[in-house]
Amino acid sequence: DTGVSQDPRHKITKRGQNVTFRCDPISEHNRLYWYRQTLGQGPEFLTYFQNEAQLEKSRLLSDRFSAERPKGSFSTLEIQRTEQGDSAMYLCASSPSRARTDTQYFGPGTRLTVL
Q: Give me the 69-108 binding string for another protein, x by CB under 8 A, dash otherwise.
A: --------------------x-x-x------xxxxxxxxx
Among 19, 21, 25, 48, binds another protein (CB under 8 A): 48
Q: Which is nearer to another protein, 22 or 111 (CB)?
A: 111
Residue 11 touches another protein, criterion: CB under 8 A? no
Question: Rounded CA gap, 81 and 64, in Å?
Answer: 7
Among 25, 31, 65, 114, binds another protein (CB under 8 A): 31
Beta-ladder partners of 8: none
With CB under 8 A as the rule, give the number of residues binding another protein.
Answer: 29
- Secondary structure in 3-state letters for 24-43: ECCCCCCEEEEEEECCCCCC
100's CB contacts (< 8 A; 6+ apart) are none
3-state helix, strand, coil split of the chain in percent (to 5) is 5, 50, 50
The residues that touch another protein, with contacts defined as CB under 8 A, are 4, 31, 33, 35, 40-45, 48, 50, 55-56, 58, 89, 91, 93, 100-109, 111
